[in-house]
Amino acid sequence: KQEVTQIPAALSVPEGENLVLNCSFTDSAIYNLQWFRQDPGKGLTSLLLIQSSQREQTSGRLNASLDKSSGRSTLYIAASQPGDSATYLCAVKEGPGTYKYIFGTGTRLKVLA
């Protein structure tokens, strides 16, 4: 049974710092992995999607990497801003033909001005 874990559970950093959020999954046979952002009381916003054949994806100040063999993904946020404060979730999809995602436990990020 696939399990997805994220560490740390919470993180507080001063504005401008570069930071790394970690995601690990127990079964390396994934189809793709997505990173999401969730603001308090709101739905999720997809940030980056990495296919199983890819090693990384970039969007602006965000860079996500994927190492399937070790069951790990990292989300790198450069030059953090207070607006980056949110909960970040990673989720894995195990096969095609379905949109069932298994979500991690989330990292609650606070960027201090």
Partner 1 sequence: KAGVTQTPRYLIKTRGQQVTLSCSPISGHRSVSWYQQTPGQGLQFLFEYFSETQRNKGNFPGRFSGRQFSNSRSEMNVSTLELGDSALYLCASSLATGAEETQYFGPGTRLLVL
Residues that bind partner 1 (CB under 8 A): 32, 34, 36, 41-46, 49, 51, 89, 91, 93, 96-106
Distance CA 40, CA 109 (A): 11
Q: Length of the chain in residues, anyone?
A: 113
Q: CA-to-CA distance for 41 and 69, rounded, in angstroms? A: 35
Residue number, 2 or 28, with CB nearest to partner 1: 2
- Minimum distance of partner 1 from residue 37's CB (angstroms): 10
Are 112 and 82 contacting, i.e. CB atoms less than 8 angstroms apart?
Answer: yes
Pick the closer one to partner 1 by CB: 16 or 95: 95
Question: Measuring CA to CA, which residue among 48, 47, 54 is closest to residue 31?
Answer: 54
SS3 73: strand
Tokens matching residue 16: 């401008």
CB 100 to partner 1: min, Å: 5
* Minimum distance, C-beta of residue 103 to partner 1, in the bound complex (Å): 4
- Of the pair 17, 42, the CB lying nearest partner 1 is at 42
State which residue, 8 or 16, has the beta carbon closest to partner 1.
8
| Closest CB 70 distance from partner 1, rounded Å | 23
